[in-house]
Amino acid sequence: MFNSDKFICPYCYEQHGQKDCVYTCSYNIPGSTKTCKFDFPKNADGTIPIKYIGKCLKCDNANLSRFCPSKSQNGRLLEIPERACGNTFSIALIGAKQSGKSNYIAVLINEIKKKMARNMDCSLIFCNQQTNDMYQTSYYKPLYEYSTTVKGTDSGDTFPLIYSIDFFDTKSKSYRIKNSITLSLYDTAGENLDQENTMLQNNQYIANANGIIVLLDPLQLPTVREKLNGKVELPEKNSDTTDILQRVITIIRERKKIKGCIDIPIALAFTKMDVLARNDVLPEDSNLRKQSEHISNGAFVKSDFENTNEEIEALLENFLEDYIMQLLKEFSKHAFFGVSALGENPVNGVQLSGQPNPIRVLDPLLWLLSLNKYIKTI
């Protein structure tokens, strides 16, 4: 009935066995009062008692709905989609207030559909209706139909967007699926990163992620703010970049009880590269002013990645942000990226001149996928 015995939950990012989950049963025969073929009693909330789950999993007389055993929202059970019971590739996407995280997610999903799918022989499919409704209503329509920025996430618990990415074998005559992963993305409110106790409460999933993308607003860096003061409308000062990184490190170490290097790869993506380019913070010949080579080559291009990674490192040295480099030594793998989700600075922070013109939005995701050999590296 289900894909595998062990899987990573797209909600809590923990590994569960099928028998560890919470279940409800759809057994219903018109004209009969029986709620179970075997007359097993149900719990008061309608779920199946643990001792019966093993037998219920073998029953073909009804559909079982499976729920996360570790996480609920306001007392509501979180149903795990059938497609999410395979190979889950969970990404913790973190960004402080005004880093543009919600806009980034809106554009990232669209770029996977429009560019990555076509050039890397894959497809993106939503795993449940909630994901599709949430993306269309809260992300796609505001940005792509009304040319307005995406409203920031409210603080507290959020539902992840859960997608399946199927990779196809183009050498096969049947064009079969050679690999499939479940992509789970949380759009956590920036306010949840401002205090350590709030971050620990609302971001527990970070420690179980396969990869971390941290979106950082370069306009929060003191040297950049000084350069751009009077030239652009600067956002209010928020959590220090190093504070956010330290809280991420604390969460992982406390949850996983590790003392050595953290083995979760972390991508630090500086947003709003278009603002830095227009105001000559970036050199004229900067790679960050142009699209990456990954999509056009249908693979992760190592030389392009190394060039941009080194360029961001050099910028950080110029901005006297040495402590960021020191903190990243806590991770066994880290990389820097420069992205722009919108390609322009919205009027009053809301209105765009047209549809987004993104730059390098896919790069952090492609790096994480390449590390796990879901896409080839050249």
Q: 13-47 pLDDT, tens per residue? A: 888 888 899 999 988 777 777 788 888 899 988 89
Q: What are phi and psi of 122, to 5 degrees?
A: -145, 170
pTM of the model: 0.90
Write out pLDDT tens, residues 287-341: 999 999 999 999 999 999 999 999 999 988 877 678 888 999 999 999 999 999 9
Question: Residue 329 maps to which CATH number?
Answer: 3.40.50.300
* 1 within domain boundaries: no
Q: Are residues 124 and 229 in the same domain?
A: yes
* 179 within domain boundaries: yes
User: Strand, coil or helix: what is 86?
Assistant: coil
Q: Find all residues with CB under 8 Å of 35, minimum gap 6, and list them.
A: 25, 27, 28, 42
Mean of the per-residue pLDDT values of the chain: 88
Q: Are residues 115 and 259 in the same domain?
A: yes
The pairing of beta strand 64-73 with beta strand 76-79: antiparallel
What pLDDT sits at residue 61?
Answer: 84
Q: Are residues 178 and 32 in the same domain?
A: no
What pLDDT sits at residue 177?
Answer: 87
Last residue within a domain, chosen from 19, 54, 83: 83
Q: Are residues 188 and 239 in the same domain?
A: yes
Last residue within a domain, chosen from 68, 83, 98: 83
Q: Which of 92-96, 139-143, 174-178, 318-322 has the highest mean pLDDT?
A: 139-143
What pLDDT sits at residue 8?
Answer: 85
Could you tell me the strand order of the sheet in which 122-126 lies?
A: 122-126, 161-168, 177-185, 88-95, 211-216, 266-270, 334-338
Are the CB atoms for 7 and 86 separated by under 8 Å? Answer: yes
**Residue 186 — pLDDT band, cuts 50, 70, 90?**
confident
Last residue within a domain, chosen from 83, 101, 118: 83
Are the CB atoms for 3 and 62 separated by under 8 Å? Answer: no
What is 46-61 written as a DSSP string? Answer: SPPPHHHHHHHTT--S
Out of 188-202, 270-284, 331-345, pick the least confident. 188-202
Are the CB atoms for 150 and 95 separated by under 8 Å? Answer: no
* 304 within domain boundaries: yes
* 320 within domain boundaries: yes
What pLDDT sits at residue 304?
Answer: 97
Q: Are residues 272 and 361 in the same domain?
A: yes
Domain that holds residue 367: 87-371
Count: domains in the chain? 2
Tally of CA atoms within 13 A in the half-sphere of 41 that contains its CB: 2
* 376 within domain boundaries: no
Q: Are residues 179 and 299 in the same domain?
A: yes
Q: Are residues 120 and 268 in the same domain?
A: yes
**Residue 272 — pLDDT band, cuts 50, 70, 90?**
very high
Q: Are residues 128 and 222 in the same domain?
A: yes
Q: Are residues 364 and 224 in the same domain?
A: yes
Nearest to 8 by CA among 65, 68, 64: 68
Nearest to 280 by CA among 289, 269, 290, 271: 289
* 377 within domain boundaries: no
CA distance 317 to 86: 42
What is 204-251 written as a DSSP string? Answer: GGGGG-SEEEEEE-GGGSHHHHHHHBTTB-PPPP-S-HHHHHHHHHHH
pLDDT of residue 181 exceeding 50, the answer is yes
Q: Are residues 190 and 329 in the same domain?
A: yes
Q: Are residues 281 and 326 in the same domain?
A: yes
Q: Are residues 53 and 99 in the same domain?
A: no
What pLDDT sits at residue 2?
Answer: 46
What pLDDT sits at residue 37?
Answer: 84
